[in-house]
Amino acid sequence: MSADPLARVRQQLREQLRERVDARGLSAAPRTERRLRVREEALSLLRENGALLPQRDLARVVNEVSDEVVGFGPIEFLLKDPDVTEVMVNGPDDVYVEREGRIATVAGPEHASRRRELRATAQRIGPEP
């Protein structure tokens, strides 16, 4: 059993969104519109699936999946942090940020459990050498 009780909901939502949302059509839209459209579709899918989640969990799942579909997945929160001036990803367990001129390791179980998402994000950003 997964340590994260929302993992199954998140995975199902991610798969359904990728089937339902036209990524090419979204790519022409501004970033905020893409995110809004994906969030609306995610909420619609959760309603259709009969997923009953507390408001906090609902927001978390929708935001995380939206970050994966139109953002930069597991590093999106780092990119949104105004104190972070650079994000360096050398591997799924090897993530660094620069804050106030100092390099720091980003640690935590969140990154270790999201290897596939990080790999998919890296492939969207650029091809492997």
Q: Report pLDDT digits (tens) over 53-88.
A: 888 988 888 888 888 877 787 888 888 899 999 998
pLDDT at 117: 72
**Which residue, of 55, 71, 87, is where some domain finishes?**
71
pLDDT at 11: 85
Q: According to DSSP H, which parts of 28-75 are helical?
A: 31-49, 55-70
pLDDT at 110: 52
Q: Are residues 85 and 121 in the same domain?
A: yes
- C-beta neighbour count of 84 within 10 angstroms: 17
Q: Report pLDDT digits (tens) over 27-52.
A: 778 878 888 888 898 999 988 988 88
Name the residue range of residue 7's domain: 1-71
Q: Are residues 61 and 123 in the same domain?
A: no
> Do residues 53 and 45 lie in contact, with contact meaning Cβ atoms separated by under 8 Å?
no
Separation between Cα atoms, residue 32 and residue 23, nearest integer Å: 14
Q: Are residues 81 and 123 in the same domain?
A: yes
pLDDT at 124: 67
Phi, psi for 54 (deg, rounded to 5)? -60, 150
